[in-house]
Amino acid sequence: MSGPIETTDVLVIGSGPGGAIPAYRLAAAGAKVVILERGPWLETREFTHDLRIDTYTRIIDYITGNGVSVVAGNCVGGSSVVYFAGALRAPTFVFDRRDTAGDRIWPKDVTRSALDPWYDLVEETLPVAQQTWDDVPYPGGVWAAACHNAGHTCNPVPVAVDLAECTNCNWMLNGCRFGAKRSMLLNYLPAAVAHGAEIRPLHEVQSISRALTTGYRYAVDYMTVDEGDYRVSDGGGRIEAKIVVVAAGAMATPVLLQRSSPFLGNLPSAVGRYFSPNGDRVSMALMDERKVHSVLGLERKPGVAYDAFPIGKPIGSMTYDFLDGARRAGERYGLQQIYFPTITNILPEATPGGDWFGPAKKHLTDRWRSWLTILAMCEDGNEGTFGSPPPTGAFIRADSAAAVTTLSYQPTNATLRAWASSDAAVKKIIEKDGVGEHLGWTATRNYLSAHPLSSCRIGDDAATSACEPSHQLRGHPGLYVTDGSSVPTSLCVNPSLTIAALAERASRSIVKQAGALGVRVNTGQTPPPGSGSLRRPR
């Protein structure tokens, strides 16, 4: 490298909600912001409706650990591009959760009512839409009717989707081709760019160290990666910044900080510990078409009761009945109807406790259109721990989208009991009056999650939280963590709205602290980001 070292006021690592929101707030306040993103930059028209393996894998990583496998986004906009847009506030009891010693896990200042204004802000900005029953696709309708039949309530799920533009195509995992899903590409990121922020895709940050330039606090080293093969680096560099916001995702942020430990020193012991896959537990039902009609009273066209698993937005309905703070810990969970693309069809068992491959499984998949998949989001014990970081990046990338992480996750008996409880609740709803047969997803011993959390969490207790309640990494002024890794516990709902609300809350704090960290900003309210579209520079 030649010439002077590049500098910026604020360097943001990652462009998902945890990165895009602080990037916008700081840029709008007048700071010079650079965003480094590991993945490629795709525009709306480039998202595909395709399961050919070299298409969707450009923007999705499937990361295998010991005991858990995680799906995460890998592109500008991060997981907001590939997520299913369920936009739910965590229920009140989640913020009051206690650890096994009886101590509060969340910071005392972060409660549902304290976070509600930030939720309001995010809901307005994305924006979030309330689905009516007219908007709930057939699978969500079947789940709602089954819940009602079993004596439960069920709600249409609020979603970050422009319902007028949505075609109900069910290709959300590939990114939204119609610009209807309200990812970061349509709000915070274009607003950040409009205020001068610069996004650099295919830049994988490797470490953070001390800056050499006077007035700058941190130096961030990155490698650029080849767009055709993310395993290949074609360059690298260093940027020094006064403030660094780490939002590389819960699978990457702790690894990056671990690798930086020799340079930064004094890394909090909770970095890379307390990982939670949000207590995700997937199971499914094979619906009896005849009884869906005769018992649930459903008919979508003459003579067809359901037969519509692949139709519609992936998330339609959810029962809140078990999100009740009065229930015992471990027996509180959200039960949500959600579609899973056929890439996961290996996972269901063919009969309760039976084969997941062979003739019986083939017979089950012949009735794929009568499937109904249910996601239980439970209270788990934050049992995950990352091992020593790999030589580069967040994990060993075996192929374009297949990676191996050092994360180990072995659920405690309490977590296993929570899953058993949610399984029983789903089974009771599904099998009431024989409307369906409840089946597990048992093909792999690894638990599957699309909601990695807590690997660098905020809290009041320095022993069990890597970050202060302000999201500043303990002992490292000007270094903040604002992504899913900062969320202290599983949420019993889809986490994206909470991650975004916490990022908004943290951004206010970072803007307020910016002056003390040497960045001149306007500490007043910044304007709402509004809507826009993000154009990749040519």
Partner 1 sequence: MDLNRRELLWLAAIGMAGVPAVAYATAPEPPDPIGFTGTDPVALLGTTSDPETLTIEAVADTLIPGEKRFESDVAIAGAARGAGAVQAGAMEFMRFHGTGVGAVLPVFATAVNSAAVSYAAQHGVVPDPTLPPFVGFDYHHRKAMLDGLLNTGNGEEQLIWFALAGLVFLAYHTAGYLSTAEAVRQGHPGLKAIGFPEPDRDGLWRFPTFSYRRKLAKPHPGTTKTGQPA
Of residues 8 through 47, those in contact with partner 1 by CB under 8 A are none
Return the sign of the alpha-carbon dihedral for residues 390, 392, 398, 402: positive
Residue 50 in the binding site for partner 1 (CB under 8 A): yes
Contact track, partner 1, 417-446, x by CB under 8 A: --------------------------xxxx
Task: Classify residue 532 as exposed, middle or buried by CB count within 10 Å of its CB (0-12, 13-18, 19+).
Answer: middle
Of 206-214, 243-251, 312-320, 455-463, the segment contacting partner 1 by CB under 8 A is 312-320
Residue 91 in the binding site for partner 1 (CB under 8 A): yes
Minimum Å gap between C-beta 455 and partner 1 is: 21
Q: Quote the CA–CA distance of 131 and 183 in Å, as a whole number.
A: 17
Distances (CA, A) of 286 to 206, 306, 355: 46, 11, 15
Contact by Cβ (8 Å): 37, 15: yes
Helix (H) or strand (E) run with residue 34 in it: strand 33-36
Residue 102 in the binding site for partner 1 (CB under 8 A): no
Question: Which segments of 224-285 does DSSP mark as H helices, in order?
Answer: 253-264
Minimum Å gap between C-beta 25 and partner 1 is: 23
Of 34-42, 246-254, 279-287, 361-369, the segment contacting partner 1 by CB under 8 A is 361-369
Label the pairing between strands 33-36 and 6-13: parallel
* Among candidate residues 280, 271, 288, 273, the one with its CA nearest the CA of residue 382: 273
Of 74-82, 133-141, 236-244, 505-513, the segment contacting partner 1 by CB under 8 A is 133-141
Residue 408 in the binding site for partner 1 (CB under 8 A): no
Residue 187 in the binding site for partner 1 (CB under 8 A): no
Of 25-33, 353-361, 450-458, 459-467, the segment contacting partner 1 by CB under 8 A is 353-361
Among the listed residues 3, 102, 215, 366, the single contact to partner 1 using CB under 8 A = 366
Of 192-200, 259-267, 358-366, 464-472, the segment contacting partner 1 by CB under 8 A is 358-366
Minimum Å gap between C-beta 257 and partner 1 is: 23
Q: Quote the CA–CA distance of 20 and 184 in Å, as a whole number.
A: 7
Residue 111 in the binding site for partner 1 (CB under 8 A): no
Residue 52 in the binding site for partner 1 (CB under 8 A): yes
Minimum Å gap between C-beta 152 and partner 1 is: 7
Helix (H) or strand (E) run with residue 219 in it: strand 218-226
Residue 51 in the binding site for partner 1 (CB under 8 A): yes
Burial 168-177 (b: 16+ CB within 10 A, else e): ebbbbbbbbb
Q: Which residues pair with 163 in a beta bridge?
A: none
Minimum Å gap between C-beta 277 and partner 1 is: 17
Region 492-511 residues binding partner 1, contact defined as CB under 8 A: 493
Strands of 155-156's sheet, edge to edge? 155-156, 315-319, 334-338, 371-377, 280-287, 436-440
As given in the structure block, the two tokens for residue 119 are 């939720």
What is the rounded (10 degree) CA torsion for 40, 44, 45, 46?
A: 20
Of 2-10, 201-209, 400-408, 448-456, the segment contacting partner 1 by CB under 8 A is 400-408
Contact by Cβ (8 Å): 437, 430: yes
Of 28-36, 83-91, 216-224, 463-471, the segment contacting partner 1 by CB under 8 A is 83-91
Minimum Å gap between C-beta 134 and partner 1 is: 5
Minimum Å gap between C-beta 53 and partner 1 is: 4
Minimum Å gap between C-beta 251 and partner 1 is: 16
Residue 114 in the binding site for partner 1 (CB under 8 A): no
Nearer to partner 1 among residue 359 and residue 527 (C-beta): 359
* Among candidate residues 135, 189, 143, 144, the one with its CA nearest the CA of residue 162: 135
Contact by Cβ (8 Å): 172, 56: no
Encoded amino acid at 331, one letter:
E
Contact track, partner 1, 454-473, x by CB under 8 A: --------------------
Among the listed residues 4, 134, 266, 303, the single contact to partner 1 using CB under 8 A = 134
Return the sign of the alpha-carbon dihedral for residues 418, 420, 426, 428: negative
Q: Quote the CA–CA distance of 516 and 470 in Å, as a whole number.
A: 15
Contact track, partner 1, 138-177, x by CB under 8 A: x--x--xx-xx---xxxxxxx--------xxxxx-----x
DSSP characters for 361-399?
HHHHHHTGGGEEEEEEE------BB--SPPSSSSSEE-S
Q: Quote the CA–CA distance of 155 and 157 in Å, as a whole number.
A: 6
Minimum Å gap between C-beta 264 and partner 1 is: 27
Among the listed residues 187, 319, 415, 482, the single contact to partner 1 using CB under 8 A = 319
As given in the structure block, the two tokens for residue 243 are 């403030």
Of 193-201, 219-227, 379-387, 394-402, the segment contacting partner 1 by CB under 8 A is 394-402
Region 208-247 residues binding partner 1, contact defined as CB under 8 A: 231
